[in-house]
A = this chain, B = another copy of it.
């Protein structure tokens, strides 16, 4: 299981490989939120999201012999790019299983990062069956998007940085809002903060209709979302909390926060104008919660993790048109 020692070990492997992303702020955002808002800009991470941390952690933790055979991931999004690039920098093969109807630009980008992309038909084929067959045939190691201890440890390095950077800004007691899908980033940050900055508390932030983690935490058991898709925050839509991540959140995380798609878009526009960073809708959910749910947050400061910025130009322009 992931613990602080595993996160610290991941941080040592990641040193010089991941970016120490800045903790940004703006007096204009503080005014909206009614308290100081510190934004951890993981959209500036390699491949545009925090996923590179977990991917690097998992790939670098393999024995050289196992790693040399290569890795495999299922993803049409940020995890795919993180795994592809971590493998490329290690000089080992990566196979990414993607739906044939994924946006062409995502397929092209994943290939351009050095991965072999295997397409499957969502309607008639099982990605698990295809992946399992390829992995067995070629001896590839599966890198899961969240339910894997070394992946959670890599995401947890974000929490180590937040603990230090928030203290540098004299913030030692605050909620740390985290865009939450399967819970790998939230769980990793929760573990890091509990050990290194106990006055900071991780809380998941989710889009309305896909608030499985908030509801599960309230119910004390894992609950599924009613729908499988339908939010513009696609990067953080998962069917239910992870098997490994959920017990960590139950133990360490505060209550979940939920925002609408519209509020996520509004937060994108504000991040553009006030922080000059690019966020995707799923990466703006925590900032939206920090800005638009003041009554559900205590204290005179809040930290929001801006988890990713892989958004196409047309959708981003729609968010700007609201500003």
The reply to whether B278 and A276 form a contact with Cβ atoms under 8 Å apart is: yes
A109–B273 Cα gap in the complex (Å)? 11
Looking across the interface, which residue of chain B has its beta carbon closest to that of A88?
Answer: B27
| Residue pair A317, B309 in contact (C-beta under 8 Å) | no
Residues of chain A from 22 to 38 with CB closer than 8 A to chain B in the complex: 22, 24, 27-28, 31
| A21 to B41 alpha-carbon distance, docked (Å) | 12
Contacting residues, chain B, for A129 (C-beta < 8 A): none
A11 contacts the other chain (CB 8 A): no
A168 / chain B contacts, CB cutoff of 8 Å: 16
Q: Tell yes or no: A43 within 8 A of B by CB.
A: yes
- Tell me whether A275 is interfacial, beta carbon within 8 Å: yes
A83 to chain B, nearest CB (A): 15
Report the minimal beta-carbon distance from A135 to chain B, rounded to whole angstroms. Answer: 26
- Residues of chain B within 8 A of A323, CB atoms compared: 313
User: B28, B113, B273, B277: which contacts A44 (Cβ < 8 A)?
Assistant: B277
Q: Which residues of B contact A109 (CB under 8 A)?
A: 28
Instruction: Tell me whether A113 and B48 are in contact (CB under 8 A).
Output: no
**B278 and A313 within 8 A (CB):** no
Q: Which residues between 269 and 323 of chain A lie within 8 Å of chain B, taking CB atoms?
A: 269, 272-273, 275-279, 309-310, 313-314, 316-317, 320-321, 323
Question: In the bound complex, what is the Cα–Cα distance between A269 and B317 (angstroms)?
Answer: 12
Tell whether A19 is near chain B: CB-to-CB under 8 Å. yes
Q: Does A112 contact B (CB under 8 A)?
A: yes
Q: Are B278 and A27 in contact (CB under 8 A)?
A: no
Per DSSP, are chain A's interface residues mostly helix, strand or loop, or mixed? Answer: helix
Residue ID in chain B nearest A23 by CB atoms: B19
Proximity string of chain A (245-276) to chain B, C-beta cutoff 8 Å, 1 when within and 0 when not:
00000000000000000000000010011011
Map CB proximity to B onto A48-77 as digits: 1 under 8 Å, 0 otherwise: 100000000000000000000000000000
Kindly report which residue of chain B lies nearest to residue A85, judged by CB atoms. B27
Nearest CB on B from A297, distance (A):
23
Beyond A28-B112, A276-B277, whether A316 also contacts B320 by CB under 8 A is: yes
Decide: A272 and B276 in contact? CB cutoff 8 A: no
Take A22-B22, A112-B27, A112-B28 as given contacts and tell me if A276 and B317 are in contact as well, using a CB distance cutoff of 8 Å: no
In the complex formed, the residue of B with least CB distance to A42 is B276
Separation in Å of the A17 CB from the closest CB of chain B? 12
Q: In the complex, A19 Cα to B24 Cα: how many Å?
A: 9
- Contact, CB under 8 Å: B276 / A44: yes
Q: Are A313 and B272 in contact (CB under 8 A)?
A: yes
CA of A43 to CA of B271, assembled, Å: 12
Closest 6 CB pairs of A and B: A276-B309, A313-B320, A276-B278, A317-B317, A43-B276, A313-B323
19 A-B pairs in the complex with CB atoms less than 8 angstroms apart? A16-B168, A19-B22, A22-B22, A27-B113, A28-B109, A41-B44, A43-B276, A44-B275, A44-B276, A44-B277, A48-B276, A269-B313, A272-B313, A272-B316, A276-B277, A276-B309, A316-B320, A317-B320, A317-B321
- Known A31-B112, A276-B278; further 6 A-B contacts with Cβ < 8 A: A27-B113, A28-B112, A41-B44, A44-B276, A272-B313, A313-B321
